[in-house]
Each structure stands twice: as C-alpha cells, then as structure tokens.
C-alpha cells in the first residue's frame, strides 16, 4: 500500500472507541509525517530493506504444524522472497514507527520477527525518543525460524540496535511464557505471526496479564475474511477499546 493510500485510510478510520491517550497516538501516527531526524531513520530502514531484497541465499522454511512428509526434504526459500512475502511494508512501517514515537513505550513485544524489519522500525523509534531525553525503551521480538532470527540479529547489530532489540528464537508457545514472566509489563505489542483465529486469541489472553495499564495490542492480518479478524472481533468485545485499521486491528487494555 502506498503512503498516500494508507494516509487516507487512516484519516477515515473510526477511532471513537479507543480511549485516550491511545486515540491521539494513533491519530498522530496516522498522519505519516516525519521530522528531519525521523526521515534520517527512515532512510536507514530503507537501506536495510534494500539489503534484504538483494539477499539470494536460501534458508529452510520452518513449519509450525503441518509437517513435511516422511523422507521429503524440508522446503527452502530465498531470503529476498521471505522479505518480499512477509516483511512489514514501508507505509505500514512508517505508521508503526510513528505509533512508537507518539506512545513513547518502555517495553515493546513483537510476535514474528521475520527478518527484523518491524523490530528495527520499532527499535529506531525508541532510540530516537531516548536521544531526545525520553524513556529508554526496549523491544523483545520472537521468531520460530532460526535462519530468519539470525538475519534479524545480525542486521540489528549492523544498525547499532542490538542493545535496543532482543531476538528470541523458538515457537511462540515455547518462548512466550518466559518472556512474559521476565520482561513485562509491555506498553505496545505487535502480533504479526501465526495468523490463525484460535492462536491469536490464545496469545492475546496469555499476554493480557503482562500488559501495562493503557497498553496497545496490534493484531496484524485482520482484513475481511481473514481468520485473525474473527479473533480481533471477539477480543474487541473484552477489551477496553478497539479500532479497525484495515490490515491492523487494535486493542487497548486498561
Ligand atoms: C509476517 S512475518 C513477521 C513480519 C515482521 N513482524 C515484520 O514486521 O517485518 C511472521 C513471522 O512469524 C513467524 N512465525 C509464525 N508462526 C510462528 C510460531 N508459531 N512461532 C514462532 N514464530 C512464528 C514466521 O516464521 C515469520 O517469520
């Protein structure tokens, strides 16, 4: 989606059932405006995207349940293809960056690191906020595919973001409990992996006790007809506020 299309989608999104300060943060982020320092961060993120788009090494595809038939070699995929299929795009990336800038969270959790685009975006926003005298925010991001996680780790290190964003490798079901025990409370959560209805509900219910008051949870993949949309709709009934932004479903908990 282009920046222009996303800006108009976000301008008309109904935010009336989001409580403050989440509503104002989403409103500000939705303008997709960057000051000169923020534009510098975006250039670094664009360069990172270009490096990913040029990676032609093949890595194993990790399967989270369907399994490979006996004797079949696990499938492989080029990293450039992984990037193209799964990474957060530039327009939504600018929205995430703006949201993290506006909210000034201390603890951010991401489910689904992939190659690190979302984590780097969020980490850069937190670094920029700290450089301006704001809180020292940190990201913890979970990824089940070791080869993807390794690319993310290396890339975050190259961008000087290793201290800012920690990549945890393992299936969410295995890695999430320890992260929730040891690293919360979280102010901002981005659930961008395992796009199934029951899974999304389970993760949000597991994360709920580890949220700070007023925390914002973003569920990716909630377009009409998608399984996560059904999860978001039922979770929205239990939450203290919600909004639908087309691709992202938001939930706020007090
Ligand atoms: C859409 S991508 C994430 C994109 C990333 N958040 C970004 O902003 O660029 C989803 C990732 O979640 C991982 N994933 C999916 N299901 C998982 C599970 N059950 N446990 C761990 N990782 C999982 C996949 O390997 C994939 O890399």
Q: Whose CA is nearest to atom 26 of ligand 1?
A: 114
124 contact partners, CB below 8 Å, separation of at least 6: 41, 44, 45, 97, 159, 161
CB of 102 closer than 8 Å to CB of 25: yes
Q: Give the phi and the psi of residue 127 in degrees, each rounded to 5.
A: -65, -40
> Among the atoms of ligand 1, which is closest to the Cα of residue 190?
6
pLDDT the model gives residue 65:
64
> Among the atoms of ligand 1, which is closest to the Cα of residue 119?
8
Q: Is 190 helix (H, G, I), strand (E, B) or coil?
A: strand
Q: Whose CA is nearest to atom 16 of ligand 1?
A: 194
pLDDT the model gives residue 61:
87
Q: Could you please state the CATH topology (level 3) that the domain comprising 3-253 is classified under.
A: Rossmann fold (3.40.50)
What is the DSSP code (8-state) at residue 26? Answer: H
39 contact partners, CB below 8 Å, separation of at least 6: none
- Ligand 1 centroid – CA 133 distance (Å): 32
Q: Whose CA is nearest to atom 23 of ligand 1?
A: 144
User: pLDDT (tens digit, 9 = 90+) per residue, 147-192?
Assistant: 999 999 999 999 999 999 999 999 999 999 999 999 999 999 999 9
User: Looking at the whole model, is its pTM more than 0.85?
Assistant: yes
Give me the residue spans of the domains in the chain: 3-253
Q: Which of 74, 112, 113, 175 to mutate to test the pocket of ligand 1 (most atoms within 8 A of CB)?
A: 112
Pocket of ligand 1 (CB under 6 A): 62, 64, 86-88, 110, 112, 114, 117-118, 143-145, 148, 171-172, 192-194
pLDDT the model gives residue 63:
81
Q: Whose CA is nearest to atom 13 of ligand 1?
A: 112
> Among the atoms of ligand 1, which is closest to the Cα of residue 116?
9
Closest CA to 102 of 192, 236, 11, 216: 216
CB environment 31-66: b (16+ within 10 A), e (fewer):
ebeeeeebeebbeebeebbeebeebeeebeeeeeee
Written as one string, the DSSP assignment of 90-114 is: HHHHHHHHHHHHHH--SEEEEE--T
pLDDT the model gives residue 108:
98
pLDDT the model gives residue 66:
53
> Among the atoms of ligand 1, which is closest to the Cα of residue 64?
19
Tell me the mean pLDDT per 10 residues along the chain, length 254: 94 94 96 97 98 96 66 82 96 98 98 98 98 97 97 98 97 97 96 96 98 98 95 97 97 97
pLDDT the model gives residue 99:
98
DSSP-assigned beta bridge partners for residue 78: 58
Closest CA to 143 of 106, 110, 177, 179: 110
């Amino acid at each position: 989606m282009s920046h222009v299309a996303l800006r108009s989608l976000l301008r008309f999104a109904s935010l009336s059932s989001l409580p403050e300060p989440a509503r104002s943060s989403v409103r500000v982020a939705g303008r997709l405006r960057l000051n000169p320092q923020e534009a510098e961060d975006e250039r670094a993120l664009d360069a990172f995207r270009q490096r990913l788009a040029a990676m032609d090494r093949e890595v194993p595809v990790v399967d989270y349940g369907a399994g490979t038939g006996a004797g079949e070699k696990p499938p492989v995929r080029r990293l450039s293809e992984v990037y193209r299929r799964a990474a957060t795009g530039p327009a939504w990336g600018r929205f995430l960056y703006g949201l993290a800038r506006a909210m000034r969270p201390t603890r951010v959790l991401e489910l689904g690191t992939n190659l690190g685009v979302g984590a780097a975006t969020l980490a850069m926003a937190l670094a920029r906020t700290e450089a301006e005298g704001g809180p020292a925010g940190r990201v913890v991001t979970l990824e089940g595919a070791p080869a993807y996680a390794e690319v993310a780790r290396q890339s975050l290190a190259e961008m000087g973001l290793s201290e800012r964003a920690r990549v945890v490798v393992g299936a969410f079901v295995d890695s999430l409990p320890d992260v929730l025990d040891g690293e919360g409370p979280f102010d901002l959560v981005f659930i961008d992996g395992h796009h199934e209805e029951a899974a999304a509900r389970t993760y949000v219910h597991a994360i709920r006790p580890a949220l700070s008051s007023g925390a914002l949870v973003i569920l990716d993949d909630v377009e009409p007809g998608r399984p996560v949309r059904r999860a978001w709709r039922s979770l929205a009934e239990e939450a203290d506020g919600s909004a639908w932004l087309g691709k992202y479903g938001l939930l706020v908990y007090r």
